[in-house]
Amino acid sequence: MEHFERTLRILSDSIRSIREEEFNALKQDCVRTLRAGNKIVASGLGKNVPICEKFVGTLNSIGIQASFMHTNSAVHGDLGMVRDGDLVIVLTKSGETSESVHLVSLLKKRKCKIWLLSFNRASTLYHELPNHLIVELEHEGDQWNILPNNSTMLNLIVLQELAMQIAKEQEVPLDALRQNHPGGAIGVTLGNGVK
Per-residue pLDDT band for 194 (boundaries 50, 70, 90) equals low
Give the domain ranges of the chain.
1-192
Class at the top of the CATH hierarchy for domain 1-192:
alpha beta
| Separation of CA 46 from chain center | 14
Beta strand extents in 10-146 (DSSP E only): 40-44, 66-70, 87-91, 113-118, 132-134
Q: Over the stretch 19-43, which tens digit does the pLDDT of each residue have?
A: 999 999 999 999 999 999 999 999 9
Per-residue pLDDT band for 138 (boundaries 50, 70, 90) equals very high
Residue 104 neighbours by CB under 8 Å, 6+ apart: 90, 114, 116, 125, 128, 129
Which residue type sits at 3? H
Per-residue pLDDT band for 176 (boundaries 50, 70, 90) equals confident
Q: Flag the least confident range among 32-36, 74-78, 177-181.
A: 177-181
Residue 192 has pLDDT above 90, yes or no: no
